[in-house]
Structure 1
Amino acid sequence: MPKDSPTPPAPARRLFGTDGIRGTANKAPMDAATALRLGQAAGRYFNRGAHRHRVVIGKDTRLSGYMLEPALTAGFVGAGMDVVLVGPLPTPAIALLTRSLRADLGVMISASHNPYEDNGIKLFGPDGLKLTDEQEMEIEALMAGDLAAALVPPSRLGRASRLEDAPGRYIEAAKSSFHRGLTLEGLRIVVDCANGAAYKVAPTVLWELGAEVVPIGVAPDGFNINKGVGSTAPGQLAALVQERRADIGIALDGDADRLVLVDEAGQVIDGDQILALVARSWHAQGRLRGGAVVATVMSNMGLERFLGQRGLKLLRTSVGDRYVGERMREEGCNLGGEQSGHMIMPDFGTTGDGLIAALQVLTVLVEEKRPASEALRCFRPLPQRLVNVRYAGPSPLHDEGVKAAIAAEEAALGARGRVLIRASGTEPVIRVMAEAEQEALVEATVARLAETIRAKARA
């Protein structure tokens, strides 16, 4: 296991996972009936005090959003909360608008990088932060009980309205994160919006800042979100960057809280390199707070060494951007993220924002006048290997023999690498990962541990 202690995993819950509620659309728990009860329960939970209560609801471009949005609206209105509908917008825009409108709650209907068949519901508090595990558990408990007490008399029913200028508000907020004295003029940028929530706002922001914009993934039809495009499928983006001789490619996911970059040579850049670049720049300018960057246990040791050479720490958490955000607040840090591309920069927003993170990278490229292929190769990643081992019954990780095997491999690697063994939070799978200087050592370590765990699972 990593030497610094990650945030402990959340208590077991039936509905809420590490990022809200997720599931197949039109099947429990991602059906209209559950969404209605969620609206009623969350409405009851937040309907406190004498002020007029308000909730902001946004969504991505999935067809099922048209089913879940009115169900949630009905639940909140019935619980006495006013509903502000903003339509398709990135998740970070919902967090921003929740604070801007002094709302009690923000709701984002999205399954992020998943295909259109799935959907999800994320909740934000009045501070624009994702709800805590404890808050979600309280809401889930209310959903399981009698919700008659949540329903208000006719005179206290909420109202629903649409905020027409919501996209413009987010566009201006995103642009304000880019240094006013700089411009993107002279840069050709390919931006892939995954046919998702940022399909209008992301190209607009880049164009208004002066870039020549080549957009793809900007024709959502309810079914094509993340389909062969976006941060989890950057192949088309990489090809187009080379074809159009662009300076950089930007890939967002379905709700635009995740970012992957492609340099001018068509090479994909992950979140670790993005964190390294921004950390180096901010540290040199005296803008990096907390003397550290927060990332998850999945981040490469190359990032940790890169930061250490500059007197900075890498603080690791469990997988999930909510845990990254919590640790950042505890440590007073203003930069954190995940290898997968979630970037949290509280100087500009309260949750992961792919577009704003891209703008911080573009700021460095403009200031330093260096190509992306050079600027975004901050360190050499150590070879890393991940294998999933399925099991039935009790977790093999409780077995003393498995524990001893893990300890032995950790001792054998010593300072040359690390071992990370963790149970999936969504399925009966043990994730076995190793990282070291030599690829052969990594492969052998993972193979031995995976077979040990597999044998125990079969026993």
Structure 2
Amino acid sequence: MAKNYFGTDGIRGRTNAGVMTAAVAMKVGQAAGHRFLRGDHRHRVVIGKDTRLSGYMLENAMVAGFTSVGMDVILLGPMPTPGVAMLTRELRADVGVMISASHNPYEDNGIKLFGPDGFKLSDEDELAIEAMLGEEQPLAPSEDIGRARRIDDARGRYIHAVKGSLPHDIRLDGLKIVVDCANGAAYQVAPSAFWELGAEVHAIGVTPNGKNINDKVGSTHLDLVKETVVASGADIGIALDGDADRLIVVDEKGQTVDGDQIMALIGSQWAAQGRLSGGGVVATVMSNLGLERFLQGQGLELFRSKVGDRYVLELMKARGCNFGGEQSGHMILLDHATTGDGTIAALQVLAALVRSGKRASELLHLFDPVPQLLKNVRFSGGKPLEDARVQAVIADVEASLAGKGRLVIRPSGTEPVIRVMAEGDDAAQVQQSVDAICAAVAEAAA
């Protein structure tokens, strides 16, 4: 059964349009509430959000939905997605909600749901909730309507947990760090955590106004953090996204260190320390072939999942791995968190930097990526990948790349776009491969 509301990472869209309205948010609250009304205890839900203007509207709508079916609500205010997951478990809640559209502009928003174990919902739960959205949910009797309260120490609890992920023998004294919080959910907690551990912190992207989240700041807009690192003479730059579940690093020279390089560092460090389980690292089909070759040189495997951190997590569980991530910067460290956590991942990088005594530029570029090219082709309808002409071009390209590279073609889970990626040792061949497929897809979609 296809999903009409849930994508690869919850429900997401432009606010006050389509699926992202107050009315839909209230129905999601009612449906998710009923789905997790299990047992005879007093039920509760934890709700966090990022700093988008629309967060107030959606938060209130979801409070109305959950309380109307008899669930108590605990409001966290602005909080990173991994903080919501953590507090869902810590507060013994039946369900957790993060209101965020991650790295998207402020006009968009989204709803991410967590089960009582702090993990994102299964396909089974999402499909069940979707089915319930088309039905009227029974309301609680007047005497059983839920209550809502806001807790004031949520940020402190999360900061404490984050600091606990750093080995006790590591201090950040002497490190000068630029932290870009994308004017998002971590604008208070991330700089505080690094400062409390001894670092000299230069924070940017920490003045949210409801409309500037991810606006020329954060992990998808690195110009400012690069300029700030170089101009201030910082040792390293840490760039988070709007809900702080992903991380991109900048070395002292202003060079980008993407998720693949971060996985190479943490994976090899943990393996050397005897902390890595499962014999390797889980990444997606988008991770660079250079990462795979590097890990093989360390005696480790790279296990590849579909794109999306939830699929990374599923494969981690299946393989018994405790570390995985995405090239885009999602890092899942199961010893410390149940979902991607940019701040905790950053601390692992900083710990390696302290232990090595090296500069970031010497430590963080562990392999040379092979040429890789990704292009998007937008389409208005139909299924262009099923077109016979497109399939023929794909087959020809796959044959030409055999043994020399990889090809990944997939529809986006959040927008009407076909993503075409090729990589290989020959940059010209990679370019030609992607261009040929994109042209065929565009023609079929016309």
Structure 1 unaligned blocks of 5 or more: 1-10
Matched residues in 1 for 2:391 and 2:231: separation? 51
The superposition leaves residues 54-90 of structure 1 with CA deviations (integer Å, 9 ceiling, x where unpaired) of 1000011111111111111111111111101111010
Q: Does 1:190 align with 2:172?
A: no
Q: Distance in 2 between matches of 1:427 and 1:85?
A: 30
State the shift of 1:382 in Å: 0.6
The residue type equivalent to 2:326 in the other structure is E
1:428 deviates by 3.1
- The residue aligned with 2:106 is 116
Q: Does 1:61 align with 2:51?
A: yes
Within 2, Cα distance between the matches of 1:356 and 1:332?
Answer: 20
Is the partner of 1:415 in helix, strand or coil?
coil
Aligned residue number for residue 168 of structure 2: 180
**Bigger shift: residues 373-382 or 436-445:** 436-445
Q: Does 1:331 align with 2:319?
A: yes
Q: How does 1:6-405 map to 2 (within 5 A)?
A: 12-147=2-137, 149=138, 151-405=139-393
Q: Which amino acid aligns with 1:27?
A: A
Aligned letter for 1:120? Answer: G
Q: Distance in 2 between matches of 1:252 and 1:219?
A: 14
Moved more, 417-426 or 242-251: 417-426
> What is the alpha-carbon distance in structure 1 between the residues aligned to residue 210 and residue 380 of structure 2?
36
Q: Are 2:421 and 1:433 aligned?
A: yes
Moved over 6 A (4+): none
Question: Contact between 2:12 and 2:414, CA under 8 Å: does it hold in 1?
Answer: no
Query: Which range is displaced more, 247-256 or 401-410?
Result: 401-410
One of 422, 436, 445 as aligned partner of 2:433: 445
SS in 2 for 1:26: coil
Deviation of the 1:393 alpha carbon: 4.3
Alpha-carbon offset, residue 407 of structure 1: 2.3
* Amino acid across the alignment from 2:122: T
CA distance in 1, matches of 2:412, 2:206: 33
* Stretch moving more, 330-339 or 20-29: 20-29
Instruction: Give distance in 1, aligned partners of 2:438 and 2:242.
Output: 33
8 Å contact from structure 2 (residues 248, 259) kept in 1: yes
Query: What residue identity is the alignment partner of 1:188?
Result: K
| Residue in structure 2 matched with residue 3 of structure 1 by the alignment | none
Aligned residues: 446
Q: State the Cα deviation string for residues 124-155 of structure 1 (Å, max 9, x = none).
A: 000000001110111111111122x2x11011
Q: CA deviation at 1:191?
A: 0.2
Distance 1:75 1:457, change over 3 A: closer
- The TM-score with structure 1 as length reference comes to 0.95
Amino acid at match of 1:54: R
Structure 2: how far apart are the matches of 1:216 and 1:378?
A: 28
Counterpart of 1:77, as a letter, is: T
Which string of whole-angstrom CA distances, capped at 9 and with x for unpartnered residues, describes residues 408-457 of structure 1? 22222122111111122233322221101121111111122222333333
SS of the counterpart of 2:403? helix
Shift of 1:36: 1.1
- Which residue identity lines up with residue 7 of structure 2 in the other structure? G
Q: Within 2, Cα distance between the matches of 1:340 and 1:182?
A: 27
Letter in 2 for 1:280: S
Cα distance in 2 for partners of 1:19, 1:38 equals 15
Deviation at 1:285, TM superposition (A): 1.0
Residue aligned with 1:257, SS: coil
Counterpart CA distance in 1 for 2:420 and 2:111 is 29
Q: CA deviation at 1:35?
A: 1.1
Q: Give CA-to-partner distance per residue, 1:322-346, whole Å, 9 cap, x none.
A: 1101110111101111100011000
Shift of 1:122: 0.5
> 1: distance between equivalents of 2:416 and 2:183?
31
- Deviation, 1:187, is 0.4
Amino acid at match of 2:53: L
Cα offsets for 1:284-337 (capped at 9, x unmatched): 111111011111111000001001112211111111111101110111101111
Separation in 2 of the partners of 1:427 and 1:204? 36
Deviates further, 112-121 or 410-419: 410-419
Whole-Å Cα distance in 2 between the matches of residues 77 and 273 of structure 1? 45
Per-residue deviation, residues 134-191 of structure 1 (Å, max 9, x unmatched): 10111111111122x2x11011111111111111110000000011111000000000
Moved more, 403-412 or 304-313: 403-412
Answer yes or no: is the 8 Å Cα contact 2:180–2:225 preserved in 1. Answer: yes
Cα distance change, pair 392–22 in 1 and its aligned pair in 2 (3 A): closer
How big is the shift at 1:392?
Answer: 4.4
**Separation of aligned partners in 1, 2:386 and 2:18:** 31
- Per-residue CA deviations over 1:371-406 (Å, capped at 9, x if unaligned) read 111111110001111222233443222234432332
Secondary structure at the residue paired with 1:98? helix
